[in-house]
Amino acid sequence: MPREPILADLSKQDLSTTKPRPLPWLRVAADRFLAQAPLVAAVGVVFTVLVVLGHLPLGWAALSFAALLIWAAVIPSGVVAVLPAEQKVAPAGSDADAIAAFADALAEPCFVLDRRAVVIHANGAAARRFSSVAPGRIITLALRNPDFIRSVDLVLRHGTPRTVELHETIPSETWENVLVAPLRRHGVEWLEDNNRQMIVTFHSLTELKRVDALRTDFIANASHELRTPLASLMGFIDTLLGPAARDAEARAKFLGIMRGQAERMSKLIDDLLSLSRIEMHQHLRPTDSVDLAGLLREVRDGLQIQARAAELEVVLSLPEGPVAVTADRGQLYEVFENLLDNAIKYGAGGKTVEVSLGASDRPGFQHRVTVVDHGPGVEPEHVPRLTERFYRIDAEASRKKKGTGLGLAIVKHIVHRHRGEIAIKSKPGEGMRVDVYLA
């Protein structure tokens, strides 16, 4: 069977299917008399007053009133009443039920309002997102946004849809694209419809705005990070072409600095490309089998020179046999290379860096890799932001250690691609501990 429309046309009736049906004479007479009862009563009162005052003989008054009664009750025999042969108007409440069902089917918040902007119905998403806007409340008193209130008022007055963007900062920063639209009934003028209703839907823009802000910050930070060494290179080149052109000692010194700046730019570009590749395949879970214990040994061996230069010993605590995990070997190597490299760079003052592999203490994960350094540590308020792109506690110290500000961001994205988790703990004077949980 075809579905009933969400808004039934209550004013439209198909008279082509109605059949004229004569009514019994007594019923017609009674209906006619009842219809004229106020007039008959008024004339009766007038006749009574005239008779009492002596302006109208009683006989004439009686005859005239009788004639009025006959006129009120007698109907010509050709008059018939038209009744619909079949009731076509949907029963009361069916439209409201259909609209409510439509709203409940939407995944995003949706409210149905009456002509006073009172909430008639709120779907599940609306009840969760806007718990204070319950049915029976006026929505413009609950959502006190001037643009939203103006939109609701304009729709009520003109019956044309309106779209508005809401930006809220309390309790957290959110953006919503709100559509306020009239629910029109066919054949009924909007302003003449005493039962007019509106629908209000919310589409969250928060994630899009957040990603856009991250992209803007990323481009600005990357440009800044590249501009600094480029400016330094150009300055040294100008010096070598000018005053230091014949100074062999200055030339050797400047060329060494220029090489360092070029290496810094090369490392930054490599990290940017690596991050881009990871994000491109973020939704694809790796399928290769990797020996995690053997991988950690390779990472330690590859960074032994840096560890000796920093006068640190990398201590491994690994199971005797292989530990198989499903992973992308190259990316997992990059994760632990970054973590161990950071521990060596910022673990100065300690004598060791410990790397251990064991069973996970978190539900849903089988393995835990822990990297611990005994350096100066960081303040607790910095810890949640350490995996942000280009976030540095001390930018100058990070540049001196040839850090790009992307290492932990890359680690986080790779771990998330492997459906794992990363946890960082640190306190001043206690070093830093990084736990990587893998399934």
CATH code of 249's domain? 1.10.287.130
Element (H, E) at 407: helix 407-417
- pTM for this prediction: 0.49
Percent of the chain with pLDDT over 70: 77
168 lies in the same domain as 270: no
The answer to whether residue 328 scores a pLDDT higher than 60 is: yes
Average pLDDT over residues 220-231: 74
Q: Residues 23-51: pLDDT tens digits?
A: 444 554 555 556 566 666 776 777 676 77
Greater confidence (367 vs 250) lies with: 367
3 alpha carbon, distance to own chain's centre: 32
Alpha-carbon torsion (338, 341, 345, 350), positive or negative = positive
The answer to whether residue 274 scores a pLDDT higher than 60 is: yes
CATH code of 332's domain? 3.30.565.10
Q: How far is CA 101 from CA 7, 93, 112, in A?
A: 12, 12, 11
Greater confidence (411 vs 19) lies with: 411
The answer to whether residue 127 scores a pLDDT higher than 60 is: yes
Mean pLDDT of all residues belonging to the chain: 77
Greater confidence (433 vs 232) lies with: 433
224 lies in the same domain as 339: no
34 lies in the same domain as 76: yes
Using the 3D structure, point to which of 204, 221, 242 is the last residue of a domain: 204
The answer to whether residue 6 scores a pLDDT higher than 50 is: no
253 lies in the same domain as 330: no
Q: What is the domain count for the chain? A: 4
Nearest to 324 by CA among 357, 289, 355: 289
Sheet holding 174-183, edge to edge: 119-122, 110-113, 197-204, 174-183, 162-168
pLDDT computed for residue 25 by the predictor: 47
The answer to whether residue 20 scores a pLDDT higher than 60 is: no
What residue type is 176 in one-letter code?
A: E
288 alpha carbon, distance to own chain's centre: 35
316 lies in the same domain as 410: yes
Q: Residue 110 burial by CB count (10 A; 0-12/13-18/19+): exposed, middle or buried?
A: buried
Average pLDDT over residues 206-217: 76
Establish how many alpha carbons lie within 13 A of residue 146's alpha carbon, considering only the half-sphere containing its beta carbon: 0
CB 378 within 8 A of CB 432: yes
223 within a domain of the structure (yes/no)? yes
CB 377 within 8 A of CB 432: yes
Strand partners, 325: 290
Average pLDDT over residues 167-188: 83
CB 184 within 8 A of CB 7: yes
Domain extent at residue 184: 96-204
Quote the tokens at residue 384: 């949640």
77 within a domain of the structure (yes/no)? yes
Residues 6+ apart with CB under 8 A from 204: 108, 174, 175, 176, 177
428 lies in the same domain as 296: yes
74 within a domain of the structure (yes/no)? yes
Average pLDDT over residues 304-316: 87
Helix axes 329-346, 292-302, angle to 10 degrees: 50
